[in-house]
Amino acid sequence: LRSPAAAPDRLPFSRITQEDLDFFRKILAGRVITDPDLLESSNVDWLKYCNSRNLAVNPQGGNTGLVGGSVPVYDEIILSTALMNNILTFDSISGILTCQAGCVLENLSHYLEEKDYIMPLDLGAKGSCHIGGNVATNAGGLRLLRYGSLHGTVLGLEVVLGDGQVLDCLATLRKDNTGYDLKQLFIGSEGTLGVITAVSILCPRKPKSVNVVFLGCETFEQLLKTFQLCRGMLGEILSAYEFLDSECMRLLNTHLKLPNPISDCPFYVVIETSGSDPKHDGEKLHNFLEEAMTSSLVTDGTVATEDSKIKALWSMRERVTEALTHDGFTYKYDISLPVEQIYQLVTDMREHLGDRAKSVVGYGHVGDGNLHLNVVSPAKDPALLAAIEPFVYEWTTRCHGSISAEHGLGLKKRNYIYYSKPSQAVALMGNIKAMLDPKGILNPYKTLPDNLK
C-alpha cells in the first residue's frame, strides 16, 4: 500500500480482504499477484521515477526518423511505444480515430480501409513508423498537399510530462477554443516536451476512385508549369504531386532493379488523384493529360488505375531513400523553399561540389515546396561535409526557406536552428522546455541548440 505525500484523500472504497483475494484467485487461477517485489514495477510511475532520479529518457517509436532524434546519445533510457498498439475508438460518422501512440501507421491504414476511411497522412516508412512518432515529428509525407498537416488533423493528444503528470488533451472535437491549444506544442516537439501516449485524429473518407500518373519532363520549369496546369484542371481531386530527378531514377535502376516505367527524362512526376466518382475523375485526368502532352509540357507518361500498378508507380518515388542507402554514405537535407527555387539548390550544389560527391540527387514534395537534397559519397567524408555545410544552409536562408521542412532537427540539425528561426523564438522555445520539463530529462541533446542547455 502506498501513501504518497501529495495524494488526494482516499475515497470511501472498501478495503481488499482475504475473501476478495480468494475470489480473484478462483476466477484468475495463477494470475493474482500480491508479492510486493513483483508489484513494484506496476506501482512505480516510471517517468516520476526518472524525474526524481534525474535519469534521461529517449522516447522511441518506429525508429525511422532521419535526424538522429530517436536514438540515445549516451545512456538515456529508451522508452519504446512498440507495445502500446491498441486502437481505442473509431467513430464512423465523424471519421475520428483514437489510438495508442505505438500503432504502426500502415496497420491504422488497413484498419480504416475496412471501414471506408483512410489516414490523412502517408509516407514511405509507413510499415514501421508509429503514429506517436509521426505526431512527435509532425511528419508531412506524400498527401499533405491534399489533407494538410498534423497540426490540423490531430484533434487531441494524451501526453506524459517529464515529471510523470498525465496531460489528458485527448479531445475528439473538431472545434474547441477553450484557452490555448496545448496539444499543438507537442506536435513536432520530437520527444523533448512530453511522451505522447495516445492520439485522436480526423480521417478522410476512402476515395472511391484513385489514379496515379507517372510523367516525364524535359526541364524543372516544365515540371512546375505542369503543376500549375494540374492544379487548375484537376482541382479538388489532386492528392499528390511528387518529383524525382534522373539521378534518383539511375539509383532506383542500379540498386533496386526497378525499371523506368517510361522513357528516360531529366525529371519525373508522380501525380495522384483521389475522388468519389471514377467517371468524373477519369475525364478530368484525360483532359489534363491531353493538354499537358499537346502543349509539350510532358514528354512521356503512363497512367495506373489498378492497385498493383499504382503501387509500382508509387514505389519509384517512395523507395528513393532506400536506393540511396545502397549507394554510399548519404548526407541528407530536407529543405522548404518557394516552389520556383527548389531545384536551383540541387543545380548549384552539383556545380559547387564538382566531382567531390558520388551523387547529388533531388526529389520531394513539389506540391509543398519541399526538396529532399541528398549528397552521397563512398564513405563518411568530413571534407565533403565541410563543402556542403554551411553552403546549403546559407543558400536556404537567402531564399527565406527552412532548413528542416518535415524531418525535424533531432541531434543532427539542432545547432542550425538559427538559420530558420530568430534568436527570440529559440529563447522562447527554451523557456517552454524549462517549464514543461524542468530537469531536462526528455530527449536531451535534441531539437534545441547546445547554447540553450
Give every CB contact of residue 193 below 8 A, 6+ residues apart in sequence. Answer: 159, 161, 185, 186, 432, 433, 436, 437, 442
Q: Cα torsion at 299, 305, 308, 314 (round to 10°)?
A: 50
Instruction: Name which of 439, 366, 452, 379 is nearest 409 in CA terms.
Output: 452
- Closest residue to ligand FAD, judged by C-beta, is 133
Alpha-helical segments (H) within 235-306: 246-256, 278-294
Q: DSSP state, 234?
A: H
Of 50, 96, 125, 265, the one binding ligand FAD (CB under 6 A) is 125
Q: Are strands 195-202 and 96-100 parallel, antiparallel or unpaired?
A: antiparallel
Q: Do the beta carbons of residue 97 and residue 200 sit within 8 Å? A: yes
Q: Quick one: what does residue 217 bind among ligand FAD, ligand 2HG, none, with the CB cut-off 5 to 8 Å set by partner type?
A: none
Q: How far apart are CA 253 and CA 398, in angstroms?
A: 35
Residues 359-388 that bind ligand 2HG (CB under 6 A): 364, 372, 374
Interhelix angle 391-398/342-353, nearest 10 degrees: 150
255 scored as a contact of ligand 2HG (CB under 6 A): no
Of 47, 50, 57, 101, the one binding ligand FAD (CB under 6 A) is 101
321 scored as a contact of ligand 2HG (CB under 6 A): yes
59 scored as a contact of ligand FAD (CB under 6 A): yes
Query: CB 31 → ligand 2HG: shortest distance, Å?
Result: 45
Q: Quick one: what does residue 57 bind among ligand FAD, ligand 2HG, none, with the CB cut-off 5 to 8 Å set by partner type?
A: none
Site string (135-164) toward ligand FAD, x via CB under 6 A: -xx-xxxx----------------------
Look up cell 524535359; give the residue: 218
Of 129, 155, 297, 345, the one binding ligand FAD (CB under 6 A) is 129
Q: How far apart are CA 175 and CA 177, in angstroms?
A: 7
Look up cell 509516407; give the residue: 123
Site string (65-104) toward ligand 2HG, x via CB under 6 A: -x--------------------------------------
Give the 3-state secondary structure of residue 178: coil
Q: How far apart are CA 452 and CA 449, in angstroms?
A: 6
By CB under 6 A, how many residues form the interface with ligand 2HG?
A: 9
**Closer to ligand FAD at the Cβ: 303 or 310?**
310
Site string (61-90) toward ligand FAD, x via CB under 6 A: xxxxxx--xx----------x---------
Look up cell 478530368; give the residue: 284
Which residues form the interface with ligand FAD (CB under 6 A)? 58-66, 69-70, 81, 101, 123-125, 129-130, 132-134, 136-137, 139-142, 190-191, 195-196, 321, 406-407, 410, 443, 446
Which residues form the interface with ligand 2HG (CB under 6 A)? 66, 124, 320-321, 332, 334, 364, 372, 374
